[in-house]
Structure 1
Amino acid sequence: MRTELVIIDSARKRGYADDDLLHVIANAIRVIVQSDGMTMYIGPDRAGRIMEVGTIERSGREIVAHAMRPARPKYLAEQPRRSRR
């Protein structure tokens, strides 16, 4: 079951529609869990433009705290695979 999603002002500062942010999360082509606790969703907005949307989890809620279009190259590049030893 998905936690409650809450969009805060920092994710809205560039003027993206909430529906676009939610669309990216629901249709992510890549999900990256970062060491700082933020989860980055990389995927298309409703017009098909690739965005990055960052969330953090607090008190059982997923907080949408970051959004940027276009997604930065570091999130689009193929992640290196770790060797198994």
Structure 2
Amino acid sequence: MNSKLVLGTVQLGLNYGINNQIGQPSLDKAFGILNTAFDNGIQILDTAEGYGNSHEIIGEFLKNNSNKSFEINPVLNIFDLIKSQRFYW
């Protein structure tokens, strides 16, 4: 199955969202989100350096679930884009 959906993971690593009243999810809840995404065919995760510790949570999940995998689609920050030879103003 080729998924056209991408799970953004900023909410796993930060107290994120204008209506977020409970803060960053616990590790168990974060793992539940990742399990639900995988079980429903989401194959791509969006993460970035600015997403708190989301990359650590994803790494821990994958370490504990070696039968599951995601494509990781990191978001580059503007300084990475400026350094890239493929980016032009």
> Shared fold by TM > 0.5?
no
Which of these two proteins has the greater Rg computed from alpha carbons? Answer: 2
Which structure dedicates a bigger proportion of its chain to helix? 2
TM-score, with structure 1 as normaliser:
0.25
TM-score, with structure 2 as normaliser:
0.25
Greater relative contact order (Cα < 8 A, sep 6+): 2
